[in-house]
Every structure is written in C-alpha cells, then in structure tokens.
C-alpha cells in the first residue's frame, strides 16, 4: 500500500474498487485498526481515529461468520453490546432488522441451523444493529443471490439516506458503477483514480460505443481509429481514439455484423480501469 | 472495561452451558467422595456377614461350639450342631445350609478344621470362622498350660499404633491408624491431583479451542473491529476462569456438605486429608495452573490452523502436565527428594507437584512462597508472550505457521 488518500462524507456511498489483490481488504482493515499502517493517519470526524471511534463503525468483513453453536439473538446482542450500544436500543434495533429480513422466528435457534442465505442476512444485521454512522462492507455482494443483492442494496441506500457513510469494496466494476457516488479505483496497493463518479466519467470523455450484435466482431480491434475494446461474444465496448466520430465505426460495421444495439456511452469503469492500468490482465468477476 | 465485561460474560455463558462442564461439576464431588471413602468402606465390609441359612458344625467339643456360636450370633448367623456329616454335606449342596465346618478329632493340636462350602466366595464367613477358631484354640492351649487367663490376655493384647502428621506451628493431626492412613493419603493425593490435572487440561484446551473457533468460524475480524485483541484474549481467559472457579466453588461446598452432614449421617468420615485447608490449596493451584496453561493455550490456539492442528502442537505443553502424573509414586513416597522439590518449583509442573507435597508432607514456607512467586512471574511472562502471538496469529488463516514465524510475531511492535 502506498500513497493512498481519500475521504468519505456522511450521506455518501463510497466505492473502493479494484481487482483481487489491489489492497481493498487491507485498506478496510487499516481503517478498523486491525492492521496498523506503517505510516499515515486515519481521521474520523477530523481527529485521528481512536479505539472508541470504532464503536460508531459497522464492519462486515470479507471473511465472515458467526459463532455456530450460539443462538442467533444472543450473538447479535453480544456483537452489539461490545460495540458499546445500550441494551434497550440494540434490542429494538435487532428485533426490527430480524423482522425485516423475516428471521424473527429464528432468534432463539442456533446459528448452525440457519441456511446460508439466512446466515448472510444475520451478518448484515450484526453489522448495523448498533446503528453505526459509518458502515464498511468488504465485498458485500460476493456469494449473494440476486434477491439478497437487492436486499443489501436497499439497505445501503437506506443507510445513506439516514446520513451514514456507506463504504464498500468490490472487484465487480458494474456494481460500483450503479451504486457509488464516489470511488477510489485501486490496483496493486496504489490509487488509480479518485473522485466522484460523475467527474471521472466526464474526465474520461464520451468517446465509447457499446454494441450488441450477432456475428464475429474480432475485426473491430484492428480498425485504425479504435483505441481499445472490451469484448464478450455478443457484446463489446469500443473506446474510440480522440477526435473520432462514432459514425465512422457505424459505417465500418455495416454489412459485416448484424447490429442489434448501437449506443454511445460514457466509458464503463471497467474500461476506464483498463485504460489507466494499460491493458493489464484483470479479473472479470 | 465495559467491553471486557461483555466478553467475559459471553465466554462464561458459553462454557457453563456446555454439557461436559455440567457433568464434571456434578460428578466431581462424588468422585472425591467415592474414591476417598472406598478404602474405609472396604475395610468395614469384611465384618458383617449375614445369612438366613445356618452354618453346620460337626465334631466340635461343647466349649468350642459355644464360642463359635457366640462369635457368629453377633453377625446374625445361626450355628447348628450336626451328627451326620454326609447329610450335612448334602444340605450344603442343596443350599439349605450355608456351609459346614468340621473339626477333626484332636483339634486343635492333632486334627484339622475343615470348611466345606459350595463356593469359595464367602471370604467374610470363613475368615471369621478361622479367626474365631484361632482365638478358641489359643484360649484352650493357655488354659491347658495353666497360665492365668488374665495374664495371658495382658501378654497378648495388641499395642496401639497411631499415625500423626506434624504440621507447622506444632499442630498435630491424627491420620487414622497404620495402613489405612497411608491408603487414605494416597487416595486423597490421587484424587486431588487428578482433579487438578483434569481441570487445568480441560480449561486449557477449552481456551485453545475457543481461540481456534474464532478463526474457523471467521468471527475474529468482527470481534477485532469492536475490541482489541488484548481484551479478546483476556476476556476469554477470565470468562473460562470464572466458570472454573464456579466449578471449584460447587465442589468445595459439596465436599463441605458431605463432610459435615451426609458423612456423619451414614457413619462415614472423609479422610483427614480432605480438609478445607487442603481444598483451598487445590483451589489456589488450580487458579495458578489455569492462568499459566490457559495463556499458553491461547497462544497455541492463535498459532494453529484448526482444532486438529492445535492438538498436534499442544503435545509438548501436555507433556509437562503428564510428567507429574507418571511420577505419582515418587510424589507420594518421597515428597522431599531433590527431583520432586525441583519439579515443585518449575512452573509448568509446580501446581500439581507442590499440591501433592502439601498433601503428604509439610514443605517449608519458603518453598511455598518461592513456588507461588515463580508461578505468578511465569504467568505474567506467559500472558505477555501469548498476547503478542495472539495479536498476530489470530488473523493468520489458511496456513500453518512455523515456530520461527511465531517467534517473529513476538517481536512485532
């Protein structure tokens, strides 16, 4: 990790984005003071982060689990209690969350009896039961089915509206693109881009085209006005060289592909990342 | 401090809800009672022989018959004089008489006494008969040789033999009589150090497992986002330690109840060595041993990958617990030998060895002070070491660290 600097403000969903091994988890662990940085400082409300400040943070680690032999309600209350929350407050909050996720009947059952999906929900509850003003989710969407992803997303938006800072990490750029207002794109422990999503998109121009088609689009890569391509069998995103009109591409395609959709767009985060990292191999989720 | 309290309470609740804990807590005192009282019970059980069937007696002169009848009537056994030896044998076989005692003509000098029975299991019965015959024969011979029976009784009376353990401050403690005293002491030492060994081992392993579970259940990061690793480790140790103290409190109060109420009720006394004072020593050495071993196990738990791995790397530590158990005989018979004294200072063996020394001998006060001093210092050192290993190790998952690596963790600032 080197030269990393960023800031998240209340009411903001902040994305920490990068491929596996970029240093996202390490960054979050440093925020939680689980790992101590060699140098640098983490500030909370303007002052260096203290042990006590961690009580205001909810943390969902990437490697997550709950004591399997204990009862769900007891574990949730215990985890809220060690965050310094008041018993009467966290009990109400836990009951409300259990109700919302349909886990009320499971409160007195052992964690080991819960299905995987239920356990994931229980872990979200454990993260937010003490009403934190900051929540850190490390790869929150990994391993979730689409329904659970929607649930989580709605929780994140709700927390944002309540004025919390929602910071999450992901290696799936598409997720970040849809959710985040501000991002830090990182690779190999270094920041690549940092700023609001709107600014970043504007900065990297509107000179990309997304194509849906039938046929073989491999020739697009070799067109002289094309800068780079992200390609899938039936879908490609083409980054055009500066000053190139997208019409030129459209004409070049005529007769060679059956085009189903042709759309000029801001480049995807994925595209920006590849552009900035210089086409290095990255994982595609 | 508030958070530590929650961790302690959580660990305490998890431990006391465990079945093994409940079972051991309940069985423990009965184990002490059973094993320590067993020798007394065995010693008593040889005298009362009761049978509703009579004992057949053949060929005994009237005076001998009278003596035997008198001896057995105290045991509620009827003695029948028979004339037909063959019929008497048949009655023993068909079970209407318990046994047949034949005195040959000329007994006790030229004839034998013969015991006929269906099984040789009535050891109480025939050993009593043999003792009675011996006494009768002795009296007969004394009478025949013309010695005054009163003088003979005086000459033959058994001198009293008592065993007294000298305590510091000139206190004297009756230990019962002869062999039984030794047996009782041995049994008490055995039970006490078995309890100490079992509880230290059990609680140490529980700590180790509890730490590994944080890793395997992947809760450790959630925990560390709320509390420091120091609080987590100390909370675990204190939580389980409290559970252990509760267990000992139950045992000691049950022993107290047994000794003061149930014991007299059934006419059984606990061996003298099971005194409140010795119970307190057991408690003290449990606490000291517990803190030393549990912090060592916390470090081992943090350095291991899963429970299986923990079992593998814990054996060198286990050795130190087992050595005193293997040397039990030496501990009891030569409590002041150099090897035993040294072991009673070495912190990993001293809780068990010093406890046994206290039970069988009276070690000098400075030995006790030195032993406890070394233990306390070792506990502090072990806690600091374990805290460092714990802090780094608890986050290491998916690989088995080498000893060299673990030692490097200790140096991490």
Taking CB atoms and an 8 Å limit, are B222 and A84 in contact across chains? no
What is the arithmetic mean of pLDDT over B230-235? 93
- Give the mutation candidate from B216, B220, B226 for the A interface (greatest A CB count, under 10 A): B226
Contact A59 B219 (CB under 8 A): no
CATH classification (class only), A13-201: alpha beta
CATH 3.40.190.10 maps onto chain B at 55-156
For strand A226-232 and strand B79-82, is the pairing parallel, antiparallel, or unpaired?
A: unpaired
**Would the pLDDT of B401 be above 50?**
yes
* Better-predicted residue by pLDDT, B400 or A114: A114
Is the CB of A79 inside 8 Å of chain B's CB atoms? Answer: yes
Give the SS3 label for residue B372: helix
A85 to chain B: nearest residue by CA? B3
> Quick one: pLDDT at residue B267?
64
User: In the predicted model, what is the mean pLDDT of residues B354-366?
Assistant: 90
pLDDT of residue B45: 52
Chain B residues 189-248 with CB within 8 Å of chain A:
213, 217-219, 221-228
Strands B172-174, B164-166: parallel, antiparallel or unpaired by DSSP?
Answer: antiparallel
A32 and B225: CB-CB below 8 Å? yes
* Residue A202 CB neighbour total at 10 angstroms: 12
pLDDT tier at B180, thresholds 50, 70, 90: low
* Angstrom distance (rounded) from CA B354 to CA B331: 9
Return the sign of the alpha-carbon dihedral for residues A257, A263, A267, A269. Answer: negative
Statement: residue A43 has pLDDT above 50:
yes
The pLDDT tens digits for A242-274 are 778 888 888 888 888 888 998 887 777 887 888
Q: Which residues of B touch A63 (CB under 8 A)?
A: 218, 221, 397
CATH 3.30.70 is held by the domain A206-265: yes
Q: Of B13, B219, B224, which has the smallest distance from its Cβ to A34's Cβ?
A: B224
Looking at residue B47, what is its pLDDT? Answer: 47
Question: With bands split at pLDDT 50, 70 and 90, how would you rate the model's confidence at A283?
Answer: very low
| pLDDT in the model for residue B66 | 82
The mean-pLDDT minimum among A148-152, B34-38, B259-263, B370-374 falls in B34-38
pLDDT tens-place string over residues B50-79: 567 788 888 888 877 887 888 777 777 788
Residue B46 scores a pLDDT above 60 = no
* B162 Cα to chain A: minimum distance (Å): 56
The CA-based dihedral angle spanning residues B393, B399, B404, B408, taken in that order and rounded to the nearest 10 degrees: -40
Alpha carbon of A50: minimum distance to chain B alpha carbons (Å): 11
Task: Determine the residue of chain A that is closest to B5 in CA distance.
Answer: A82
Question: Does the pLDDT at position B40 exceed 70?
Answer: no
Nearest Cα of chain B lies from the Cα of A178 at a distance, in angstroms, of 27
- How many cross-chain Cβ pairs, A to B, lie less than 8 Å apart? 56
CA distance A59 to chain B (A): 7
pLDDT value at position A282? 45
- Residue A70 pLDDT greater than 90, yes or no: no
| Distance of alpha carbon B328 from alpha carbon B97, whole angstroms | 48
Averaged over A40-53, what is the pLDDT?
89
CA distance B297 to B211: 9
Please report the pLDDT score of residue B155 as a whole number. Answer: 83
pLDDT band at B178 (very low <50, low <70, confident <90, very high): low
Whether A61 and B397 lie within 8 Å, measured CB to CB: no
DSSP β-ladder status, A208-214 and A182-187:
unpaired
Q: Give the C-alpha separation, B304 to B310, whole Å.
A: 5
Min CA distance, B30 vs chain A (Å)?
30
Evaluate whether B344 touches B198 at the Cβ level (below 8 Å). no
**Rounded-to-integer distance, Cα B106 and Cα B113, Å:** 10
**Which residues, at least 6 apart from B143, have a Cβ–Cβ distance to it below 8 Å?**
B149
Compute CA distances A255 → A234, A251, A258, B45, B238, whole Å. Answer: 16, 9, 7, 110, 78
> What fold does the segment set B55-156 form as a domain?
D-Maltodextrin-Binding Protein; domain 2 (3.40.190)
Residue of B nearest to A25 (CA): B221
Q: Which tokens sit at B173?
A: 């403690």
Angle of CA points B60, B62, B67, to nearest 5°: 85
DSSP per residue, A159-215: HHHTT-EEEEEES-HHHHHHH-SEEEEEETTEEEEEEEHHHHHHHT-S-EEEEEEES
Residue A285: the pLDDT is 35
Test mutation, A33, A65, A139, chain B, max B CBs within 10 A: A65
Interface contact flag, A126 B224, Cβ < 8 Å: no
pLDDT at B271: 62
> What pLDDT sits at residue A173?
84
Q: A59-68, B19-28, B127-136, B159-168: which range is least confident on average? A: B159-168
Residue A241 backbone zone (phi > 0: left; psi -120 to 50: alpha; other: beta): beta
Q: Are the beta carbons of B21 and B243 closer than 8 angstroms? A: yes
The torsion angles phi and psi of A145, rounded to 5 degrees, stand at -80, 165
Average pLDDT of the residues in A130-159: 90
Q: How confident is the model at residue A284 (pLDDT cuts 50, 70, 90)?
A: very low
CA A94 to chain centre: 25
Sort residue A48 into left (φ over 0), alpha (ψ -120 to 50) or beta.
beta
A54 to chain B, any CB pair closer than 8 A? The answer is yes
Q: How confident is the model over B133-152, as a mean pLDDT?
A: 82
Query: Which of A:94-133 have CB within 8 Å of B?
Result: 126
Among B25-39, B82-96, B189-203, B308-322, the least confident range:
B25-39
Lowest mean pLDDT among A40-44, A62-66, A67-71, B36-40: B36-40
Residue B303 CA to residue B401 CA, distance in Å, equals: 7
Sheet strands (E) in chain A: 13-17, 43-44, 47-48, 57-60, 134-138, 165-170, 182-187, 190-196, 208-214, 226-232, 235-240, 258-265
**Whether the predicted pLDDT of B44 surpasses 70:** no
Smallest CA–CA distance, residue A232 to chain B, in Å, is 35
Residues of A in contact with B221 (CB under 8 A): 29, 32, 34, 59, 61, 63-64
Give the residue-averaged pLDDT of A83-107.
93
- To the question of pTM greater than 0.80 for the whole model, the response is no
Long-range contacts of B396-404 (CB under 8 A, 24+ apart): B396/B303, B397/A63, B397/B215, B397/B218, B397/B305, B398/B305, B399/B305, B400/B304, B400/B305, B400/B309, B401/B303
Q: Give the pLDDT confidence score for residue B159 in this predicted structure.
A: 81
* Domains of chain A, residue spans: 13-201, 206-265
User: B9 to chain A, minimum CA–CA distance in Å?
Assistant: 9
pLDDT of residue B335: 86
Query: pLDDT band at B263, cuts 50/70/90?
Result: low
> Which residues, 6 or more positions from B368, have their beta carbon under 8 angstroms from its beta carbon?
B354, B358
């Amino acid at each position: 990790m080197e030269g990393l600097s960023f800031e998240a403000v209340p009411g903001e969903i902040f994305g920490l984005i990068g491929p596996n091994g970029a240093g996202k988890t390490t960054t979050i662990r440093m925020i939680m003071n689980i790992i101590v940085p060699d140098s640098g400082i983490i500030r909370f409300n303007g002052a260096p982060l203290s042990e006590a400040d961690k009580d205001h943070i909810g943390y969902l680690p990437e490697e997550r689990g709950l004591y399997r032999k204990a009862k769900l309600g007891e574990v949730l209350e215990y985890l809220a209690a060690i965050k310094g929350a008041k018993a009467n407050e966290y009990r109400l909050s836990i009951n409300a969350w259990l109700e919302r996720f349909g886990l009320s009947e499971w409160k007195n059952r052992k964690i080991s009896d819960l299905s995987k999906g239920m356990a994931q929900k229980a872990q979200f509850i454990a993260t937010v039961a003490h009403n934190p003003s900051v929540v850190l989710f490390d790869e929150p969407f990994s391993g979730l089915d689409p329904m659970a992803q929607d649930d989580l997303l709605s929780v994140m938006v709700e927390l944002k509206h309540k004025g919390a800072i929602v910071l999450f990490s992901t290696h799936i750029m598409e997720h970040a693109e849809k959710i985040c207002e501000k991002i830090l794109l990182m690779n190999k422990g270094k920041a690549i881009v940092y700023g609001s999503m709107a600014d970043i998109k504007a900065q990297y121009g509107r000179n990309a085209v997304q194509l849906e088609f039938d046929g073989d689009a491999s020739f697009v890569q070799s067109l002289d006005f094309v800068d780079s391509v992200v390609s899938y069998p039936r879908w490609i995103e083409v980054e055009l060289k500066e000053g190139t009109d997208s019409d030129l591409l459209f004409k070049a395609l005529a007769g060679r592909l059956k085009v189903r959709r042709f759309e000029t767009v801001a480049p995807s985060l994925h595209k920006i990342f590849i552009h900035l990292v210089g086409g290095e191999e990255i994982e595609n989720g | 401090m508030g958070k530590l309290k929650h961790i302690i309470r959580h660990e305490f609740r998890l431990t006391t809800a465990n079945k093994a804990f409940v079972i051991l807590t309940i069985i423990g005192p009965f184990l002490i009672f059973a094993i320590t009282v067993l020798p007394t019970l065995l010693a008593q059980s040889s005298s009362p022989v009761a049978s509703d069937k009579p004992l057949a007696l053949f060929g005994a002169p009237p005076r001998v018959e009278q003596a035997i009848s008198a001896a057995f009537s105290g045991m509620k056994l009827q003695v029948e004089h028979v004339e037909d030896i063959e019929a008497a044998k048949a009655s023993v076989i068909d079970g209407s008489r318990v046994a047949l005692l034949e005195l040959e003509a000329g007994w006790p000098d030229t004839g034998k006494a013969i015991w006929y029975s269906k099984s040789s299991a009535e050891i109480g019965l025939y050993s009593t008969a043999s003792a009675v015959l011996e006494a009768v024969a002795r009296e007969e011979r004394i009478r025949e040789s013309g010695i005054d029976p009163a003088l003979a009784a005086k000459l033959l009376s058994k001198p009293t033999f008592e065993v007294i353990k000298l305590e510091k401050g000139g206190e004297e403690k009756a230990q019962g009589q002869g062999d039984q005293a030794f047996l009782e002491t041995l049994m008490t030492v055995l039970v006490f150090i078995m309890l100490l060994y079992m509880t230290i081992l059990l609680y140490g392993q529980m700590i180790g497992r509890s730490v590994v579970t944080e890793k395997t259940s992947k809760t450790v990061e959630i925990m560390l986002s709320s509390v420091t690793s120091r609080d987590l480790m100390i909370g675990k140790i204190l939580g389980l330690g409290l559970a252990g103290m509760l267990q000992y409190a139950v045992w000691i109060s049950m022993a107290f109840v047994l000794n003061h109420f149930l014991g007299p009720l059934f006419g059984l006394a606990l061996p003298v060595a099971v005194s409140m004072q010795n119970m307190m020593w057991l408690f003290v050495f449990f606490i000291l041993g517990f803190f030393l071993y549990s912090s060592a196990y916390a470090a081992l738990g943090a350095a291991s990958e899963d429970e299986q791995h923990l079992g593998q790397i814990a054996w060198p530590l286990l050795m130190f617990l087992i050595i005193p158990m293997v040397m039990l005989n030496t501990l009891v018979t030569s409590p002041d030998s150099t090897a035993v004294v040294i072991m009673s200072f070495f912190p990993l063996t001293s809780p068990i060895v010093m406890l046994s020394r206290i039970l069988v001998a009276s070690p000098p006060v400075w030995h006790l002070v030195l032993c406890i001093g070394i233990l306390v210092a070792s506990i502090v050192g072990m806690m600091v070491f374990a805290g460092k290993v714990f802090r780094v190790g608890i986050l290491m998952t998916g690989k088995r660290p080498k000893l060299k690596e673990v030692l490097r963790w200790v140096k991490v600032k």
